Amino acid sequence: MSSSPRTTVISVCYNSLAVLPTMLDSMPRGTPVVLVDNASADHAALAQLAAERRVHLVRSEVNRGFGVGCNRGAQEATTEFLLFLNPDAALQPGALEALEAAMDRYPQASALNPRLMDGDGKPYFKHRSVLLARSAWMKRGWPDRDCVVPVLSGAALFVRRDAFAAVGGFDPAIFLYHEDDDLSLRLARECGPLMFIRDAEVRHLEGHSTVRSPQSAAFKAFHMGQSRVYAARKHKIGGRAMFPLLAATLQLLSPVTLLSSRQRAKRWAFLKGMLSVVRQNGS
């Protein structure tokens, strides 16, 4: 058997230095890792960490979004498979080997998700998407066996490199949020089924990829609003995007929002993000 690595791990970083060592510690020996620095403020320290751990670091002078960062990292890879892994995630023992074995076991599959759990060990399973009809949603909680799924989480997305290239990678027009939903739908349509793999496990400290602050929350909310409308229209469910617009307007007037400056900033940013796309393209 060849000892050459089959998978390159790609992680997009934005002020993620606090969580990266744990992620890197979880890598099996000899696994190629590409870190893409999306214009972090802590680049010098990140460069030092990358040198110490002997991983490849790519720097972007401007933050063009998660998907663009993933695409940039994928350009550095020559392996059969790619694993897009959040900086606040960690592979559990045997996870990478289980994902590679699953690709051999299911040759028609284009991409996979492992069994994801949060920092408290609670199950996380992406059972639905705003880009899917409700009839396509799955039950909450991990399936009890390997199975085909309609959409994958980008927190730990394992994909054949040729399939990723065939669909053009992540949509660069989506800065943040729903980029994994969009990629999932294109992979399933053009390259083959998406699957959940039960015996591969990844721990994900959701929401800790970047420093948490009111400014960060508002930044993320703005791009979530933009992506919600853009992705819905791209997949021809534009009318469905108007429900969150109405909900966001009502949430701004709720007592909880009015009493919290952080919630006001977040809700207002989400609404502004949605309206920016509606105004740009016409309602």
In terms of domains, do 75 and 187 share one?
A: yes
Specify whether 143 is located in the same domain as 220. no
For the chain, the average pLDDT equals 87
Of the candidate ranges 46-50, 165-169, 174-178, the one whose mean pLDDT is the lowest: 174-178
Q: Find the CATH number of the domain harbouring 151.
A: 3.90.550.10
- Domain stop point among 204, 233, 249: 204
Q: Give 150-159 pLDDT, tens digit per residue.
A: 999 999 999 9
In a domain, 209, yes or no: no
* pLDDT surpasses 80 at 269: no
In a domain, 156, yes or no: yes
Mean pLDDT of 112-123: 92
| Buried b / exposed e along 75-84 (16+ C-beta atoms within 10 A) | eebeeebbbb
Q: Please compute the mean of the pLDDT values over residues 79-85 and round it to a whole number.
A: 98
Q: What are phi and psi of 46, to 5 degrees?
A: -65, -40
Q: How far apart are CA 39 and CA 51, in angstroms?
A: 18
Co-location of 262 and 182 in the same domain: no
Report CA dihedral (73, 151, 18, 46) to the nearest 10 degrees.
0
Which pLDDT value is given to residue 3?
78
Q: What residues make up the domain containing 135?
A: 7-204
164 and 81 Cβ atoms separated by less than 8 Å: no
Q: Does 63 reside within a domain?
A: yes
Instruction: Work out the end-to-end distance of the chain between its first and last CA atoms, rounded to an integer number of angstroms.
Output: 57
- Identify the sign of the CA torsion 37, 43, 47, 48: negative
Region for 6 from its dihedrals, namely left if φ exceeds 0, alpha if ψ lies in -120 to 50, beta otherwise: alpha
Of 5-19, 50-64, 249-263, give the lowest mean pLDDT range: 249-263
pLDDT of residue 119: 81
| Domain tally, the chain | 2
Averaged pLDDT for residues 79-97: 98
Both 104 and 184 in one domain: the answer is yes
Domain final residue, candidates 154, 179, 204: 204
Q: Which of 204, 229, 249 is the last residue of a domain?
A: 204
CB atoms within 10 A of CB 250: 10
Same domain, 54 and 136: yes
On whether both 42 and 84 belong to a single domain, the answer is yes
Distance between CA atoms of residues 174 and 68, nearest Å = 9
Identify whether residues 165 and 196 lie together within a single domain: yes
Does a structural domain hold residue 154?
yes
pTM (two decimals) = 0.86
Residue 196 and residue 255 share a domain: no
Answer yes or no: do 57 and 175 share one domain. Answer: yes
Going by their DSSP bridges, the two strands 194-204 and 89-91 should be labelled as antiparallel
